[in-house]
Structure 1
Amino acid sequence: MSSETAPSIDHGAPLTTQRSGTPCPGPRSSNPHRPVKARFTLPAHEALVGCLRRAARTVLRRWQLSDDIQDSALLIVGELAANAAVHGRSEMSLHLVLARGTLGIIMGDHGDPTPSHHRPTDDDPDEHGRGLDIVHTLSTRVDLHHDDHGTWILARLAVPAPRSGVD
């Protein structure tokens, strides 16, 4: 799998997304069945995890998702980005895709292989190793794809349809 594609949300062709890092318009586009997407790629450094979270927050707000969905998505983005920065390759990419009642959060590490980052033996075990448990708990489904080019994790969140009318 190249750095230009990520797993698709449904069982169709691989998802290709924007290169620019500029988020797409909100979900109220002229074609409600067309997915809206955003993609951000940064060097895989722990110091840049916050940048991906802020970019995701901007997109999720623009897409007018509920606060609960945004909170869950941002936790997932943070955990997956931290894993990509610590354990991944030279680049990490975040793809956000809103399609058919599902928010797909796809985090990939790709590029040149980097030396393994090993956790110091004096680290507190309570501070490490729970990230994927959090992702699995918050997501409706999590898929992992790993090959010689890197690792892609796709976490899905169910997005309730906007309510029409007044209570």
Structure 2
Amino acid sequence: MNHATPRVANPLRTFTQLLSSTRRGARLARLLAVAELRSWGVSRDLVERAELVVAELAANAVLHGRVPGRCFRLTLALDPAAGRLRVEVSDARGDLRPTDTTPDPLSTGGRGLTLVAALADHWDCVPYPPTGKTVRADLVDAVA
């Protein structure tokens, strides 16, 4: 007896890539994220917000999470039914965890996570065993 397997509408989509902990790796993370999200048919608004979030998190992984000889990991997870995208960037420096502080207005840096907080619906940082960390941001698609 043949049974048809039920089709799951809009299954969870994921993308993971290891990238070198260099400026070129951070740039490639942004470009790959945009290409993948466009191939998934994600709304333009969500792609644009995710592009900025990936750029900031990847730059932070390169600037603050770099360990010579170690890569950083970009992961995208899209739940089309919920209209939610999770962006995760994992690096090897678990001892340097980001803080949610207001940047010095006279400083030339330190605004990346403020930008992430403004673009994402939620962000946090969790351990990435054995010694690293993962900074993750959830973005909800306003179009969905």
TM bracket, shorter-chain basis:
0.7 to 0.9
Deviation at 1:159, TM superposition (A): 1.8
Deviating runs (4+, > 3 A) in structure 1? none
Letter in 1 for 2:88: I
Deviation at 1:107, TM superposition (A): 0.6
Counterpart pick for 1:92 among 48, 54, 72: 72
2:126 paired with 1:145: yes
- Aligned partners of 2:12 and 2:43: how far apart in 1? 18
Normalised by the length of structure 1, the TM-score is: 0.66
Q: Which runs of 5+ in 2 are unaligned?
A: 1-6, 96-105
Letter in 2 for 1:150: G
Summarize deviations over 1:75-94 as a string: whole Å, max 9, x none.
00000000001111321111
Relative contact order higher in (CA < 8 Å, ≥ 6 apart): 2
2:17 paired with 1:35: no
Counterpart pick for 2:48 among 52, 71, 75: 71
Deviation at 1:125, TM superposition (A): 2.8
Aligned residue in 2 for 1:131: 112
Deviation at 1:161, TM superposition (A): 5.8
Number of residue pairs matched by the alignment:
121
Normalised by the length of structure 2, the TM-score is: 0.76
Aligned residue in 1 for 2:138: 156
Q: Which runs of 5+ in 1 are unaligned?
A: 1-29, 114-123, 163-167
